[in-house]
Amino acid sequence: MPSATWPVHVDPAHLYFITTRAVRGAQIFHRDVIKRILIDSLNAGRILKQYELFAFVIMPNHIHIIIRCLDIYTPADVVREFKKATANLIIRQYEVEGNQEVLTFLVSAVKRKHKQRYAVWESEYQAKNIFSSAFLQEKLEYTHNNPLQPHWRLAETPEEYIWSSARFYLTEERALIPLSDARELLV
């Protein structure tokens, strides 16, 4: 995944479609306890007013989110803070469980041994500026259909997959965390 390059000025009115994945694409997010860590951290960033969250999906080895940055935050700030918080909590969870297989893998994935002990996330991520209603609709559909892809088959329909905002958009049910409604932005 190529590294994101940011313009000098980030327009606070714009939404961003962000994708970031686990180190080496490993499926370390497949368990519900780990997904809950990711969900709770997304909610914390929303509560701390770093961003408005419009959509999300937690996959076994990556996440997609659609956000609007608030105040002084940029997409780079949001991703950095999210990765830092979740990495610490995920590592702690695997330590508590005594899961040496995963911990050994996370140690082996570290590139600069003197700076960190474990690697949970790839350092790169993608952030795409959502520049139109059509692109927003495309990214909402992509996000919500991700669990249905043949190589995943995590659900039969988007709304069946609870680790996503699809239920909010397709059935009007609450998502696992409060969302801003992207439909209000579609023209």
Any idea where the domains of the chain sit in the sequence? Answer: 15-185
In contact, 9 and 45? CB cutoff 8 Å: no
Closest alpha carbon to 37 in 101, 84, 104, 105: 84
Q: How far apart are alpha carbons 14 and 90 in whole angstroms?
A: 30
Interstrand relation of 15-21 and 51-58 (parallel, antiparallel or unpaired): unpaired
pLDDT digits (tens, 9 = 90+) for 159-174: 999 999 999 999 989 9
Q: What is the pLDDT of residue 116?
A: 80
Topology adopted by domain 15-185: Alpha-Beta Plaits (3.30.70)
* Start-to-end Cα distance in the chain: 31
pLDDT digits (tens, 9 = 90+) for 73-129: 999 999 999 999 999 999 999 999 999 999 999 999 988 766 788 999 999 999 999
Across 136-152, average pLDDT: 97
Q: How far apart are alpha carbons 51 and 83 in whole angstroms?
A: 15
Q: How far apart are alpha carbons 134 and 138 in whole angstroms?
A: 6
Q: How far apart are alpha carbons 165 and 155 in whole angstroms?
A: 14
Closest alpha carbon to 64 in 28, 101, 93, 38: 38
pLDDT digits (tens, 9 = 90+) for 1-53: 334 444 445 677 789 999 999 999 999 999 999 999 999 999 999 999 999 99
Q: Between the CA of residue 70 and those of 45, 74, 124, 139, 167, what are the distances in Å? A: 10, 8, 22, 20, 25
